[in-house]
Structure 1
C-alpha cells in the first residue's frame, strides 16, 4: 500500500517531522509553474464529495483551486505550510496511481484582477 503521492511533496526535516516552507510551487503544466508565498495565504477550504475533492486557497492577490482525489492529507499539510510543490498527475498515470495516494487532476490559478 503506497500512500505517498507523486502529485505533491511534504517537506520533512531531519527527524521526519513536517518542516514549514516560505513558498509553494504550483506546477500547472510541464512547462509552467507559479510560486506563491505562504505568508500571503489567508483562507483555505477543503471539500470532499463522492469521488472528487476540492481544495480552494486564497492568497493576497490570487485564488487557487485544486481538484482531485484523496486530497485531505494535502489540505492538512497546507495548514502547517509543509507542502513544497503541487503538480498535476500525467493523464496516462491517473489509472495506475494507487487509491490511497493523493491525485491532483486540476490546478487553477486566478489573479485577483480576473475575479468577478
Structure 2
C-alpha cells in the first residue's frame, strides 16, 4: 500500500510527526508556482463527492481550489500546516485510479480582486 503522493509532501520531523511550515508552495504548472503564508489562511473546506474531492482554502488575499482524488490526507496536512508543496499529478500518473495516495488534478489560485 503506497500512501506517498507525487502531488504533495507532508513535512515530517525526526520522530516522524508532522512539522508545521510557514509557507505553502502551489505549483500550478511546471514553469510557475505561488507561495502563500499559512499565517494568512483563514478558512479551509474539504468536500468529497463520488470520485472527486475538492479542497477550498481561503487566504488573506487569495482563494485556492484544489481538485482531485483521495485528498483527505492532504486536507488534514493543511490543517496542521505540515504540507510543504502541492503540485499537479504528472501526466503519466493521471490514469492511476487504483493508487492509494492522493492525486491533484487541478489547482486554481485566485487573487481577491479577481473574485466576482
Question: How many positions carry a matched residue from both structures?
Answer: 116
Cα displacement (A) at 1:95: 1.4
Aligned partners of 1:92 and 1:2: how far apart in 2? 17
Deviations 1:56-88 (A, max 9, x none): 000000000000000000000100000000000
- Tell me what 1:79 maps to: 79
TM-score under structure 2 length normalisation: 0.97
Deviations 1:75-113 (A, max 9, x none): 001000000000001222211364311000000000000
Which 5+ residue runs of structure 2 have no aligned equivalent? none
Moved more, 96-105 or 60-69: 96-105
TM-score under structure 1 length normalisation: 0.97
Runs of 4+ in 1 over 2 A off after TM superposition: 96-99
Aligned partners of 1:92 and 1:78: how far apart in 2? 26
Which 5+ residue runs of structure 1 have no aligned equivalent? none
Cα displacement (A) at 1:39: 0.1
Moved more, 66-75 or 85-94: 85-94
